[in-house]
Amino acid sequence: MDRKRLLRNPLIWILAAFLLFYAFSVLLDDTRGYEEVPTSRALEQLNNGNVKSAILQDKEQRLKLDLNNPVDGNKTRLITQFPAGGSSQLVQTLINAKNMTGGWKTEVTQESLFVTALLYLIPVGLVLVLLMWMMNNSQGGGSRVLNFGKSKAKQLSKDMPKTTFADVAGANEAVEELYEIKDFLQNPGRYQALGAKIPKGVLLYGPPGTGKTLLARAVAGEAGVPFYSISGSDFVEMFVGVGASRVRDLFEQAKQNAPCIIFVDEIDAVGRHRGAGLGGGHDEREQTLNQLLVEMDGFDSRGGIILIAATNRPDILDPALLRPGRFDRQIPVAAPDLSGRKAILRVHSKGKPLGPDADLDSLAKRTVGFSGADLANVINEAALLTARHNGQLITAEALEESVDRVVGGPARKSRLISEKEKKVAAYHEAGHALAAWAMPDLEPVYKVTIMPRGRTGGHALVVPEDDKELMTRSEMIARLVFAMGGRSAEELIFHEPTTGASSDIEQATKIARAMVTEYGMSAKLGAVKYGTNQGEPFLGRQMGHQPDYSLEVAHEIDEEVRKLIEVAHTEAWEILSQYRDVLDELVVELLDKETLQRKDLERVFATVEKRPRITAFNDFGGRTPSDKPPIKTRGELAIERGEPWPPVVEEPEPTPVGTAPGGSDLPGGPPHGSGETPGPNGSGPQQPHPPAWQAQQQDQAAPPQPHAPGPPYYGAPPGWTPATAPGGPSGAWSGQQPSTERPAEQQPEAQKEVQRSIDSDPQDGKR
């Protein structure tokens, strides 16, 4: 602790005050030098005539004696206490004493009113000072007492670790949006020339661990303007009005340092939907939220302040907080896809010694659904495991084990399991693996193990080859078959089920009920959603479902759910019965090795054939499906022709905002060629766009063509000519070449087929 903080600590001053008080008490003590003796001993000296002088202190009930001759060695001054009511007798004894040459006197102490009050006020004052210091310290008021209403936001300093956009991977769209805000703050002239206004607020929302706070730190590291960081819970305290006062103080500081950025982490702590609670009454959070709404876009709001907020629960935020003008941009930060996971793993593995067998691309395929924080934890766990075994390189085995630890917890190798229970677990997991392998619409089985982890006794893992967001009915029934494979194996081999299938039954029931009540995959009940969200006053949104159908319909829903599970159960039973020898062979290897990888499963399941898709949704009522197959996408056609897909395209130089090829020749256009763009002083250097922006622009744009001087063509098709050209309706721009695009009837058949597939795909607009 440094000297300044030590001197600001009130405990030090309180201790110093006590020491000073003790020193004065010792110095002003009038009993120093006297030896305390019993009353009988003092009376004996009076009766023997050995007292030279005496002082009787009536209020303190003390008697001080100065002796003629020392007693008990060298004691010449004695002091004793006498009981209340004995002063009159003691006075008579003093009168009758002999040889008292110094005489005796009586002292009656009378303290002033000021001293009496001071003796009472000093302890009370010390206690009050201590309480105020404790409250001030708990509320973060600095050196000022009761400073509750001041903002607790922390301003980014140069000493803090700097994070940039280069440290962010797997969130290219979010980086692009935030990069534009950073670029607007640094180069406002480019955007103001087009009449653009800077967004007032940006909301980052998504599951935990996807990098929302990391993105905010990257903005802070690259913004070049004051950056304030605060948590949503810092606004709400135990005192009424503190939250609103802190919001006012925060924005007052921001206005004095505009332009600047304010980052509020976990804004759902203060931005929860108003009216939540019993009776929808007003509370402290609502008062804080109202003040935040006014500061963001109120009557006297001023520009130059950008609010960036992050939350995991955007559904419970107040609608007034989410409207344009407050949070103009709402950026989802979802779990990364395959390419994003590859990039994240490369970022977190930078600087770590990887072995030659460590394949990050395979690890990215293995970790479907992992967030950025999960992937960082995987790399860190692999490094810790390598250090635990005194290794020098992080191997593929360490990465594989770290994934299992993150998903299921550490392996319980010391757990003692009986041979019978181990055999049951092996058949259970082998049933899962075999049922999944035989289903045509399920992801390939990656691993099966009977090594207990966490609360599980083993698991069979299926890993999709790519990221999927849509599932067909046959794929969901295949998942039901996979879930019922373990129970079917127990019933087939041991003639009775065990409690180990409880989680499998729970998952199967959840999938089947969702198929019937949410996805409309029941031919009997049709495409109807059963059950509505039930409002919950404490959350401000919904919690659970409330039935809005009759008991007869509920009975039919239960019957359809049971029927789906029975179909899957029967399918799994038939698979295991047909390949019983393969099941036994797999169990033997599981008991021997405990864990089997994909290459082992391919060898064991070499004779297993895929089952026919007998569970497809084939009841459409009077609606007969078309026999015409769906169109082929551009990628499918390219693969059929043997061409690489996606095609390799050279990255063009980015075009600055506000300029276009040939912009200097536009009538009335500002001559800002040579890579310069309008700025605060009329021109400025071209600002490069981030790689994510280039990649997205490249994917969405048409194939690059040589540009000739001409008008801006943002989003226009090739060969587009404006209605009015410099030379009149039939004129052309300087240097413009005629269109080389052929009419539709002259295009190759493959190209027209691709065009039809793009125009007729109804899912393109939805996705």
Which one from 429, 443, 571, 589 is the annotated catalytic residue? 429
Give the CA dihedral 332, 336, 338, 340, nearest 10 degrees: 90
504 is in an annotated binding site: yes
Main-chain dihedrals φ then ψ at residue 338, nearest 5 degrees: -60, -50
CA distances from 51 to 32, 43, 64, 88, 199 (A): 19, 10, 10, 19, 97
Q: Give the DSSP H/E element, type plus range, for residue 21.
A: helix 10-27
Q: How many CB atoms are closer than 10 A to CB 344?
A: 28
How many Å apart are CA 487 and CA 479, to the nearest integer? 14
Q: Which residue in 550, 565, 447 sits closest to 505, CA to CA?
A: 565
SS3 460: strand
What string of DSSP letters covers 686-732?
PPPPPHHHHHHHHHHSPPP----S----TTPPTT---SSBTTBTT--
SS3 302: coil
What string of DSSP letters covers 613-648?
-TT-----TT-PPPSSPPPPPHHHHHHHTT--SSPP
Q: What is the token pair recorded at 146?
A: 């009761």
684 is in an annotated binding site: no
311 is in an annotated binding site: no
Q: Which residue in 724, 706, 722, 710 sits closest to 664, CA to CA?
A: 710
Residue 291: partners with Cβ closer than 8 Å, 6 or more residues away: 243, 244, 247, 248
Alpha helices in 350-471 (DSSP H): 360-366, 372-388, 396-408, 419-438
SS3 738: coil
207 is in an annotated binding site: yes
CA distances from 179 to 165, 218, 371, 679 (A): 8, 9, 22, 18
209 is in an annotated binding site: yes
Q: How many CB atoms are closer than 10 A to CB 381?
A: 19
Whether 429 sits among the annotated catalytic residues: the reply is yes
SS3 79: strand
241 is in an annotated binding site: no
Given the DSSP bridges, would you call strands 227-231 and 260-265 parallel, antiparallel or unpaired?
A: parallel
Radius of gyration of the chain (CA): 42
How many Å apart are CA 712 and CA 722, to the nearest integer? 10
303 is in an annotated binding site: no
What string of DSSP letters covers 351-378?
TS-B-TT--HHHHHHH-TT--HHHHHHH
Q: Give the DSSP H/E element, type plus range, for residue 212.
A: helix 212-222
∠ Cα 611 617 623 (to 5°): 145
Q: Do the beta carbons of residue 301 and residue 295 sit within 8 Å?
A: yes
Burial class (CB in 10 A: 0-12, 13-18, 19+), 411: middle
Cis peptide preceding 259, ω within 30 of 0: yes
206 is in an annotated binding site: yes
**Binding site for ATP: what residues are annotated?**
206-213
Residues at the binding site are 206-213, 428, 432, 504
**Residues annotated in a binding site for Zn(2+):** 428, 432, 504
Residues annotated as part of the active site = 429
